[in-house]
Amino acid sequence: RLGRKLGPKMPSSRTGTVTQDIRGVVEQLKRGRVDFRNDQHGVVHSVIGKVSFEQGQLLENFKTLLDALLRARPATARGQFIKTIAVSSTMGPSVKIDPQKAIALIR
């Protein structure tokens, strides 16, 4: 039980928090580095901002996340990599976004 609570808070080489370059990692985290992972169904959940952010900041964060997802695409992946995009606040209703238009936005 304790492992489930402490595990995400502990340093991990997989997330890049175990390193010799402590100053570099601290700077990245202060600038707002966000890691993302997909769940067992291939769904990626990630934070792109807060309610207090301006529209431009949210759009820039969305573009950065989408670009990172596309760069992380495995070479063996075939077909449509991103099938649907939905953006929502934590407990709010989601807004569906056309993936093709979103990808065209960053290119």
Token duo for residue 79: 């077909």
Q: Residue 53's pLDDT band (boundaries 50, 70, 90)?
A: very high
**DSSP run (H or E) holding 55:** helix 55-71
Whether residues 49 and 72 fall in one domain: yes
- Residue 95 CB coordination number (10 Å): 10
Whether residues 95 and 62 fall in one domain: yes
Whether residues 4 and 54 fall in one domain: no
Whether residues 23 and 60 fall in one domain: no
Whether residues 50 and 83 fall in one domain: yes
Residue 41: strand, helix, or coil: coil
Query: Is the whole model's pTM more than 0.85, yes or no?
Result: no
Phi, psi of 95 (to 5 degrees): -115, 120
Q: For the chain, what percent of residues have pLDDT higher than 70?
A: 92
- Counting the structural domains of the chain, the total is 2
Whether residues 22 and 42 fall in one domain: no
The residue segments making up the domain with residue 25 are: 1-33
Token duo for residue 63: 């573009």
pLDDT over 70 (residue 15): no
Give the position of tokens 């100053």. 23
Whether residues 105 and 80 fall in one domain: yes
